[in-house]
Structure 1
Amino acid sequence: MGLFTVALARQELDRLRPILAEIVVVRADLVELTAALAVGGEPTPLGGLPERKAAEARLNELMTEIQETGAELKGVAPLLVDFPAELDGVPVLLCWLEGETDLAWYHRVDLGFPGRRPLP
Structure 2
Amino acid sequence: MTTSEREFTIAQARALMPEVRAKAAEIVRLRADLAELTLDLHTAGSSAMGGRPEAKAYEARLQEHVTWFTDQGIEVKGLAPFLVDFPARRGGRSVRLCWIEGEPELAWYHLTELGFAGRRPLD
TM-score > 0.5, shorter chain as reference:
yes
CA distance, structure 2, for counterparts of residue 41 and residue 100 of structure 1? 36
- Give the superposition deviation at 1:13: 1.9
Name the counterpart of 1:98.
Answer: 101
Structure with the higher fraction of residues in helix conformation? 2
Name the counterpart of 1:37.
Answer: 41
Structure 2: segments with no counterpart, 5+ residues: none
- Give the superposition deviation at 1:46: 1.2
Name the counterpart of 2:21.
Answer: 17
CA distance, structure 2, for counterparts of residue 22 and residue 42 of structure 1? 26
CA distance, structure 2, for counterparts of residue 37 and residue 44 of structure 1? 6
**Count of paired positions:** 119
Name the counterpart of 1:50.
Answer: 53
1:54-93 equivalent positions in 2, closer than 5 A: 54-93=57-96
Structure 1: segments with no counterpart, 5+ residues: none
Percent identity between the aligned chains? 53
Cα RMSD (Å): 1.2
Please identify, of 7-16 and 53-62, the stretch whose mean Cα deviation from structure 2 is larger. 7-16
2:72 aligned counterpart, secondary structure: coil
Task: Say whether 1:4 aligns with 2:21.
Answer: no
CA distance, structure 1, for counterparts of residue 44 and residue 32 of structure 2? 16
Name the counterpart of 1:28.
Answer: 32
2:16 is aligned with what amino acid?
A: E
Name the counterpart of 1:108.
Answer: 111
Q: TM-score, normalised on structure 2?
A: 0.91
Residue by residue, what CA displacement relative to the aligned partner does 1:15-68 show, whole Å, maximum 9, x if unpaired?
A: 222211110111001101110110x33743211111101001111111111110
